[in-house]
Amino acid sequence: MPLLEVSAVTVSYGGNRALDGVGMSAERGAVTGLIGPNGAGKSTLFDVVSGLRRPQAGRVVLGGRDVTRLGPARRCRHGLARTFQRLELFGRLSVRDNLLVAAELGPERRRARQMADGLLDRLELTGIADTRADNLPTGVARLVEVGRAMAVRPELLLLDEPAAGQDGEETERFAALLRSLAADGTAVVLVEHDMGLVMGVCDEVYVLDLGKVIAVGPPEVIRNDETVLAAYLGDV
């Protein structure tokens, strides 16, 4: 059974239907991509899955449990963590303290210090552990944000454009991190405009356009799908 199952989700903002009967699933041990043009509904779907927005119709099932009516904090306790397109770090805190604050919210709060140090090491951030978050270049700040989500040891990790602002080398290291998270058994869902990254790391890719899933499949299928090329990839 997939860890995450979203079915027939509909969200309207006034008269604008942002999601129209959307279904998707994410498996443990896999990276699932979610791509599509600006305004396709990707962030809205993340909001629905993470509990920030209640859909007008449809269901979200996490680990076999219907969480559609649960708020974000309860979903976090059921193993969900996410990052945001807009950076949400505590700017005045150091890199280490940003990780520590998150680790103290997670299931291993008694080992929060070790968790934070382990993450600094895994993310190769030890050298800048004491740097204030608001002094970081965007690409590095995004990595800290991912580390903060990892600190709660999520089973399902939703990443909203985590590679925006990273240079080529940073993105390559980030791809290896995503694969290692999947190898640990995490279900990773990735919203990303960097098609090299998406096609290189994802096991399966969902394509959204105007609030509907227009294609699902492994990267090699999506890359050659006529509908996807017309709606999105043709323009990238």
Ligand X SMILES: Nc1ncnc2c1ncn2[C@@H]1O[C@H](COP(=O)(O)OP(=O)(O)OP(=O)(O)O)[C@@H](O)[C@H]1O
Residues that bind ligand X (CB under 6 A): 13, 16, 18, 36, 38-44, 85
Please identify, using beta-carbon distances, which residue of 122 and 212 lies nearer to ligand X.
Answer: 212
Residue with tokens 């700017």: 91
Which run of H or of E encompasses 172?
Answer: helix 168-183
Residue with tokens 């929060």: 112
Find the shortest distance in angstroms from Cβ 198 to ligand X.
13
> Distance between CA atoms of 182 and 208, rounded to whole angstroms?
23
Find the shortest distance in angstroms from Cβ 114 to ligand X.
36
Find the shortest distance in angstroms from Cβ 236 to ligand X.
12
> Distance between CA atoms of 43 and 160, rounded to whole angstroms?
7
> Distance between CA atoms of 47 and 49, rounded to whole angstroms?
6
Please identify, using beta-carbon distances, which residue of 79 and 211 lies nearer to ligand X.
Answer: 211
Find the shortest distance in angstroms from Cβ 108 to ligand X.
32
Q: At what angle do helices 168-183 and 138-150 cross, to 10 degrees?
A: 10
Beta strand pairing call for 187-191 and 31-35: parallel
Please identify, using beta-carbon distances, which residue of 85 and 126 lies nearer to ligand X.
Answer: 85
> Distance between CA atoms of 191 and 34, rounded to whole angstroms?
5
66: exposed, middle or buried (Cβ count in 10 Å: 0-12, 13-18, 19+)? exposed
> Distance between CA atoms of 177 and 172, rounded to whole angstroms?
9
Please identify, using beta-carbon distances, which residue of 102 and 207 lies nearer to ligand X.
Answer: 207
Find the shortest distance in angstroms from Cβ 127 to ligand X.
32
Find the shortest distance in angstroms from Cβ 38 to ligand X.
3
Residue with tokens 């140090």: 117
Single-letter amino acid code for the residue at 219: P
Please identify, using beta-carbon distances, which residue of 17 and 78 lies nearer to ligand X.
Answer: 17
